[in-house]
Amino acid sequence: MGYMLYSISFLFLILATGLYLGRNRWTHLVPIPDYVYNRLPSSFSNDIEAGFTSGDFDLHTNVVAGDSRRGLDQRGKREVQKIMKSRKIGFDEARRVYMEQSFANNNIGLDGRPRDPKFVSFS
């Protein structure tokens, strides 16, 4: 029994060492999300410092008014930041792309009207 435990421990040590030494060959295959390394801000003032504001989407008034909320939606910020990094576009454009994707996921047309064939609108 002791021989089996020793053999398994030795095999595990050899395997772990091999994986550690060859990590440059396999670590790129492991899916690691970008947001693990970048902590997103959790207040409006930190959102402003992170670049999540613009002339069309002004957060300065929230800070001046003393808004006590925690800032923008974490999931939305993460998605907008991903779009900004991958497409190399600014905040306003990334926010527009995010909203278009959100509309498409919820079956809403670009004009803001539902694409549901049963939808009836009275105007």
User: Could you read off the pLDDT of 57-100 as tens digits, one per residue?
Assistant: 777 777 777 777 766 777 888 888 889 889 999 888 998 999 89
Side-chain-side CA neighbours of residue 89 (13 Å) = 13
- Provide the pLDDT confidence category of residue 38 given band limits of 50, 70 and 90: low
Task: Report yes or no on whether pTM surpasses 0.85.
Answer: no
Question: How far is the C-alpha of 97 from the C-alpha of 90, rounded, in Å?
Answer: 11
Quickly list H helices, the chain. 2-21, 23-26, 44-49, 60-64, 74-87, 91-105
Provide the token pair at 2: 């002791």
Residues 19 and 2: their CA atoms lie apart, in Å, by 26
Q: Please identify which residue in the block is written with the tokens 């613009």.
A: 54
